[in-house]
Amino acid sequence: MKPSEYLSHDATDLARLVAAGEVTPAELLTLARQRADQVNPRLNAIVRRMDDAADGRIAADDLTGPFAGVPFLIKDLAQEYRGYPTSSGSRSLSRYVAGEHSNVVRRFLDAGLVIFGKTNTPEFGAKGVTEPDLWGPARNPWNTDHTPGGSSGGSGAAVAAGIVPAAGANDGGGSIRIPAACNGLVGLKPTRGLAPYGPATGESMFGMAVQGVVSRTVRDAAALYDAIVGPTAGSVYPIATPDTPFTARIATPPTGLRIGYSSESSINPNPDPEAVAAVEHAARVLTDLGHHVEEVPQPYDDAALARDFLTIWFAVLATEVDEARALTGASDRDFEADTLAIAELGRSAGVVAALTALGKVNDYVLSLERFHQRFDLLLTPTLATPPLPVGATSTPPLLQGASRVIAKVHGGNLLARTGILDDLIEQSLGWVPYTQLANLTGRPAISVPLHWTATGLPLGVQFVGRLGSDGDLLALAAQLEQAAPWVHRYADIAL
């Protein structure tokens, strides 16, 4: 197989060719490694190669499953692979070796995927950009001056650059959908609990974080989710797995959907015209497909949701820093300044603040319930702006120094009085104000690449569905993929 042929096939096609004996897993792995060697120095998408593990899989010659022999990458956060470190983008964990596979990695392996590396992620997945101090910034294949998003930014960049047709990802506040939107990919954040966490940790972020993938095609997304969804022996409650496999579900185009759309955001009252154009283009395509599409007021209070989301996230990050210290004996210098400051804010706010924010989740669930009485799906931009330039959200060195001092003296209360929470909402969520809703409410949401900016950067649109409507979202995405194809579009670096 020629490199150009490798690039033109999705994972489903590659698996078919392996099964037919037209190409071997070893040949595909060689092609994937060659692509990585060619483009990764410019993208910094892969931060840890796992060549020994991949070679061992190939040599064992016992690959089975729907994706037997297809090269694959996993995220260097919450996707542990036995015998290799999972750094979570942090120096504090960079040498801490996993003693067992995570459940989702086991399912990737059971599907026959050949994992040969780990992808870049911000420290503890805490940002919508991928620029950790430990590994350095990942870059967008469509324009390397821009971010591939986060926190699954390395996975998004690797797929868009043609290293692999799909890669592991996870999503605690948009971390599958943001990279999908930045890189021209498909990114489904599944219903809470559908894809497995554990066994090292239970439901991350009180269930707000979920496991998944980013991919070029909808059928790859459907088949990969078919391979990984479902409860484990350690699940804490039963999950209703789909009666119909997603791969079968996408074969039937939806008809007559009622879709409400909005570009409004209290966090960012003036979304970029390209974001508005992305949604308006999607609305026109949907109307042409026979769906009922209507512009609606924003159906929830996103400013309140942002405060509650960050309050919960600050508390979670404080515990993650403490857990890393306990595991490895890490000191302050092993954490980024921003991480220390945010963790200190979480500690100083106390447990009542986090529990109060968690209690308000029901308000957002009810807001969506009222919306879904009239509409099947909510359509928004995935991003309020095109992908940001690399370094656009970096904290200046002087402020980083101040953050370290404040964290050291436990000055979180003083920090809170400076209004830093409002600043963080604007800086961290201002360009991605639409994605956290699905995480807090547990609802599924998907980003699909229907729009490219005038300068050639992808900018996806997001659909949020009812609880358990993952198959409906994938079916609509497949319909849109046929009506407004994107698979033929490649970043220059991929070619």
Task: Tell me the catalytic residues.
Answer: 75, 151, 175
Strands (E), 127-209: 166-171, 186-189
- Give kind and range of the element (H or E) at residue 470: helix 470-483
CA distances for 301 relative to 263, 342, 429, 483, angstroms: 13, 23, 14, 33
As a whole number of angstroms, the distance between CA 402 and CA 64 comes to 53
CA distances for 67 relative to 143, 212, 223, angstroms: 31, 16, 9
As a whole number of angstroms, the distance between CA 450 and CA 472 comes to 18
As a whole number of angstroms, the distance between CA 139 and CA 90 comes to 18
Burial class (CB in 10 A: 0-12, 13-18, 19+), 391: exposed
As a whole number of angstroms, the distance between CA 256 and CA 210 comes to 30
Cα within 13 Å of Cα(445), Cβ side: 36
β-sheet bridge partners, residue 71: 114
Cis peptide before 199 (omega within 30 of 0): yes
Could you tell me if 108 and 167 are in contact, meaning their C-beta atoms sit under 8 angstroms apart?
Answer: no
Please choose, from the candidates 54, 65, 100, the residue with its C-alpha nearest in 3D space to the C-alpha of residue 79. Answer: 100
Could you tell me if 189 and 445 are in contact, meaning their C-beta atoms sit under 8 angstroms apart?
Answer: yes
